[in-house]
Structure 1
Amino acid sequence: METREVIESRKSVHDYADEPLDDDTIESIFEATRYTPSGYNLQPWEFLLVREEGNRERLQECAGGQEHVTDAPAAVVVLGNLDPAAHAERTFDDWVEKGYLPNDDARDDLVETIEEWRDWPEEERRVWTTRSTALAAMTLMYAAWDEGVATCPMEGFDREALIEEFDLEGYEPVMVLTMGYPAEGADAIEGDRKLRRPVEEILHKESFDAE
């Protein structure tokens, strides 16, 4: 699809066809997802793909029993690393190699700065990682729909239960996505687009007026 078509036609889907997602399609979706931008290109995201029935049932328990978690052939837990410096050295080595930084001293200064972020309170690190990781979740949804694969983002899950159940300590569960081919005649795909606020209501030029 063309980019505009992907954006305007993607909808959240709860009704999935009884058709598995093959490895090549999944690899293609995540190959596109990895090009998501992030602060300092630190790429704090990780993705837990859940396809086995037993694991989807475990995930469903953490998501308030929502049926589409097990109805979909796959689900993805979108995770943000709470360690800002987890990939800093590798990232800034690349910046030096490609001329984005002038020398190793500049690289070392940047690494030191990012390592200091480790001292932030956990709540600040949760906000930091969510900002970039949410971008990756959106890229994933668009990349999936470009392959004809529908998704549904979910906020309705028990964060602590999810961390404990899947051993996710050190990561922020930013989102859960169900993923699969939409069922034939699925309302979300075939029905009219749900309300979207108009541009003149959401765009504020030069100053902000909340009314």
Structure 2
Amino acid sequence: MEFSEVVESRRSVHQYADEALDEETIEGIFGRVRHSPSSYNLQPWEFLVLTEDENRERLRSVAYDQEHVTDAPVAVVVLGNKDPSAHADAVLDDWVNKGYLPNEKARDAVMESIDGMAALPEEERRIWTVRSTTLAVSALMNAAWDEGVATCPMGGFDAEALVEEFDIDAEQYEPVMLVTMGYPDEDAADVANERKFRRPVDEIVHFDEFDPVDSTQLPEETPASADD
């Protein structure tokens, strides 16, 4: 698809066809996700991809029993590494090798800054990793839809239960989001129906000064509906 078609036609889908996603398709999607931007290019994201029925049942048990976790052939647990320095050596070596940094002294200065971030309180490191990791989630949904694979981002889950259920180091990783993936059912209302309301550009964009619009009414021609 053209990029504009991808972003304008993508929907959050709850109804999936009874068709598996092969490993090659999944890896191809994540091959594009890996190009997502991140703070200092530190790429703090990790993805636990659940394809086995029993594992998606386990995930559903910590996701408030939401049906599409198991209806979809794939569910992804999106994790953010809370240690900014985790991949810093490889990233900064690459910067030096490719001329983004002029020398080792400059590399050391950047590393000092990253080490300072790693020493911040946990809450600040959680915010840091969520900011970068959600960029990759957006790329995941668009890359999937470009292959005809529907997704649904999910914030409804018990984070403490999730890390315990899947033996994830909660000191190191922040559960950021869940994403279901699969080919949409041909009767999926999320895809077939008219797109839900989106706020107009002139209401969400503020040039040079912030003056939010107090909008409580939907346009008359747009059906009143929750966002997707």
State the TM-score, normalized to the length of structure 1.
0.98
* Amino acid aligned to 1:19: E
Residues 182-191 or 166-175, more deviating: 166-175
| Total equivalences in the alignment | 211
Show structure 1 runs of 4+ deviating over 6 A: none
Residues 102-111 or 87-96, more deviating: 102-111
Inter-partner Cα distance in structure 1 for 2:140 and 2:43: 14
Q: Which residue of 2 aligns with 1:44?
A: 44
- The 3-state SS of whatever aligns with 1:28 is helix
Question: Retained in 1: the 8 A contact 2:76–2:178?
Answer: yes
Residue 98 in 1 paired to residue 103 in 2? no
How many Å apart are 1:112 and its aligned residue?
2.0
Q: Which residue of 2 aligns with 1:20?
A: 20
Q: Which residue of 2 aligns with 1:138?
A: 138
Inter-partner Cα distance in structure 2 for 1:33 and 1:11: 18
How many Å apart are 1:42 and its aligned residue?
0.4
Q: Summarize deviations over 1:132-176 as a string: whole Å, max 9, x none.
A: 000000000000000000000000001111111112221111110
Q: Which residue of 2 aligns with 1:77?
A: 77
Q: Which residue of 2 aligns with 1:198?
A: 200
Inter-partner Cα distance in structure 1 for 2:4 and 2:86: 34
* Amino acid aligned to 2:125: R
Listed as ranges, the gaps of 5+ residues in structure 1 are none
Q: Summarize deviations over 1:5-57 as a string: whole Å, max 9, x none.
A: 00000000000000000011101100000000011100000000001111101
The structure with the greater share of residues assigned to helix is 1
Q: Which residue of 1 aligns with 2:56?
A: 56
Inter-partner Cα distance in structure 1 for 2:201 and 2:115: 40
- The 3-state SS of whatever aligns with 1:8 is helix
Inter-partner Cα distance in structure 2 for 1:84 and 1:165: 25
How many Å apart are 1:191 and its aligned residue?
0.3
Q: What does residue range 169-180 of structure 1 map to in structure 2 within 5 Å?
A: 169=169, 170-180=172-182
- The 3-state SS of whatever aligns with 1:210 is coil
Q: Which residue of 2 aligns with 1:121?
A: 121
Inter-partner Cα distance in structure 2 for 1:49 and 1:154: 14
How many Å apart are 1:210 and its aligned residue?
2.1
- The 3-state SS of whatever aligns with 2:106 is helix
Percent identity (aligned): 64
Q: Which residue of 1 aligns with 2:147?
A: 147
From 180, 183, 186, the counterpart of 1:181: 183
Q: Summarize deviations over 1:87-119 as a string: whole Å, max 9, x none.
A: 111100000000000001111121122112222
- The 3-state SS of whatever aligns with 2:178 is strand
Inter-partner Cα distance in structure 1 for 2:142 and 2:103: 37
Q: Which residue of 2 aligns with 1:112?
A: 112
